[in-house]
Amino acid sequence: MMTKSDTLPTNASPSPPRRARWPLILTVVGLTAILRFSVFSTSSLSFGGCHFGASSTLADEQLSAGVCPQESPIAPKEHDALWNNLTSLHATPAFRKRAAGQLGNAVRIPTETFDGMRPVGEDQRWITRGPFVDHLRITYPLVHKNLELQRVNTYGLIYTWKGSDASLKPLLLMGHYDVVPVAPLSADQWTHPPYSGYFDGESIWGRGSSDDKSGVIGIMIAIESLLDQGFAPTRTVVLSFGFDEEAGGYHGAGYLGPALLERFGPDSFAMIVDEGAGFSEMYGATFASPGVAEKGSLNVDLEVQTPGGHSSVPPAHTSIGILSALIVELESNPPPATLGLATPGYAMASCLAAHAPALPRPLRRAILRAPKNEKTRKQAEELLFAEGMQGRLIKALVGTTQAVDIISGGVKSNALPEQAVATINHRISTESSVNETGTRDVDLLASFAASKFNLSVKAFGEVLSSLENAAGTLEFTAHNELEPAPITPSDEAPYALLAGTIRTVFKVARADKGKGTEGDVKEKEIIVSPGMMTGNTDTRFNWELSKHIFRYGHMYWEGSGLPAGIHTVNEHLSADAFVEMITFFTTLILNVDESREI
């Protein structure tokens, strides 16, 4: 059996993996949607042999006391007049129309990123970024007059807005201005052409309107407006805009991160905010879920080699047959998923239990009682990991996953295949590691291959067994390794500041939409919970810069879905949502500027 130290080298510096074009993001928003379709759908249910009805409300309140505490809304105080002026400006039809027009203009510049693009200077497809960079320079003259611009790897952008107090750690705001390509066969299915940037009075239409040109343009508009009002920051603000996030960020953020580290040093930023999940109404409450963690990733290739020959005299098992058996063994023994109490997954579930009034009571009580002992934790786990799609999604959130995504072997129908290869993609739990994940594959399959098929085994460069008269070899190869991201603490000042900012902006954006009754005021409340992403953002290149990294886009998500049309047909963003995003960036910059606790 292999030990953890026997498999993947601990001193390796693995390259981050490519990821899906839109990572599956499971936050409180997603989790509530998953649970919405569970079997617990009535107001009076039984669990563990006990009956829970309206009489247990007081007990529920006692269980949830102190769970997932909420920060008070935070609004600028020193700059309250400026903030009030800007939020009043944001509420005007003229500002709304102007902001929508600026986002539409940005959408009209196609900046598509394709998989497998060669380095900048070697691939002509990068030149689409040039017009966008020029567009920013022309559209935001005050930003370019007052902020220092450093261009990295030609199209990566670092803007530095120097503050008056160099002793304060800067704020880093991130975004990316590349977009996924529009499939030619679907172009005619769009309500408005995909690069029209059309504004119909309600929404801005086109690729990138949500992901992530709205983030980049929202930041630029916020800063241009602050400069127009004469604001000069006390704390330095840094912007980092990548240009290939949709293919892993290797040429953009992969260069920007090291450049920032060289300029500012490790642990140099007070907090980092990049794109991520937004907020949604679920189970009688509205939840925002800034991502405080990301899962890791590892691809493992299984390569079986056996002697070739004519297929008219086959052995009992060809290399393809052996590989197939190894895959069956792997899939028959998936990594176990557990609801660890110290994980972001449990933090998310506990916030639901504490603040979602319509959450099924049996599930609420199981979650809240989970810390009491192992039995109640397992009960919560069993409910959350129920059979069906919802169970699969929750397991994918909290556990390490494995998926056999690529397989190849054989070249001719009458020739025995000398080689067969399968690629297993792992998404690694926050409680695990690249080394532990690779070791598990070896422990599961190496002895199986040796005893059942008489194969010699080599794992990650080390010979584990070399059998006499072996029928062939099995080799494990690791690539695209990425450790799980460090978990951002949610009990420290940066998280509190972000949460308080979210709660303020949410209420301000709805201040003119209610009737002023107590019920209307309550509807303007938002619950902020730690969230988690199973995919990866450009922040993975910036782990050394701060331990306070948040993946959050202040944007409404309809139910369990992603923002409208993201990565598919009819991507669009409402003008109201875009203005609220601008208000969020404005408020965050001012709140961070005033804070002396971060």
CB 469 within 8 A of CB 487: no
Among residues 176, 149, 175, the alpha carbon closest in space to that of 162 is found at 149
572 among annotated binding-site residues: no
123 among annotated binding-site residues: no
Q: Is the pLDDT of residue 26 over 80?
A: no
Helix segments in 168-270, DSSP class H: 213-228, 253-264
Catalytically active residues, by annotation: 178, 245
In single-letter form, the type of residue at position 222 comes to: A
Among residues 482, 443, 484, 450, the alpha carbon closest in space to that of 466 is found at 450
Burial of 392 (0-12, 13-18, 19+ CB in 10 A): middle
Q: pTM for this structure?
A: 0.86
* Residue-level pLDDT at 183: 86
Mean pLDDT of 315-335: 97
Q: Is the pLDDT of residue 519 over 70?
A: no
* Residue-level pLDDT at 17: 39
Of all residues in the chain, what percent carry a pLDDT higher than 70? 86
Q: Is the pLDDT of residue 214 over 60?
A: yes
Architecture of the CATH domain 1-23+296-335+400-484:
2-Layer Sandwich (3.30)
Number of helices (H) and strands (E), helices first, in the chain?
17, 21
pLDDT, tens digit, for every residue of 167-190?
999 999 999 999 999 988 888 899
Indicate the DSSP class of residue 6: G
563: confidence class by pLDDT, cuts 50, 70, 90: low
Beta bridge partners of 402: 426
Whole-angstrom distance, CA of residue 377 vs CA of residue 367:
7
283: confidence class by pLDDT, cuts 50, 70, 90: confident
Mean pLDDT of 496-515: 87
Q: Is the pLDDT of residue 56 over 70?
A: no
Q: Which fold has domain 80-293+486-594?
A: Aminopeptidase (3.40.630)
* Residue-level pLDDT at 520: 46
* Residue-level pLDDT at 391: 67
More confident residue, 479 or 534: 479
Burial of 103 (0-12, 13-18, 19+ CB in 10 A): buried
Which of 59-68, 323-332, 426-435, 549-558 has the least mean pLDDT?
Answer: 59-68
**Lookup: tokens for 514:** 């209610």
135 among annotated binding-site residues: no
385: confidence class by pLDDT, cuts 50, 70, 90: confident
Mean pLDDT of 298-316: 95
Mean pLDDT of 311-329: 96
Of all residues in the chain, what percent carry a pLDDT higher than 90? 74
Q: Is the pLDDT of residue 492 over 90?
A: yes
**Lookup: tokens for 554:** 């202040």
**Lookup: tokens for 114:** 């394709």
211 among annotated binding-site residues: yes
pLDDT, tens digit, for every residue of 360-381?
888 899 999 999 999 999 999 9
When the pLDDT of each residue in the chain is averaged and rounded to a whole number, the result is 88
- 9-13, 15-19, 199-203: range with highest mean pLDDT: 199-203
Beta bridge partners of 475: 303, 458
Domain boundaries, the chain: 1-23+296-335+400-484, 80-293+486-594
Which of 12-26, 161-175, 259-273, 399-413 has the least mean pLDDT?
Answer: 12-26
486: confidence class by pLDDT, cuts 50, 70, 90: very high
Whole-angstrom distance, CA of residue 258 vs CA of residue 237:
18
Radius of gyration of the chain measured on its C-alpha atoms = 26
567 among annotated binding-site residues: yes
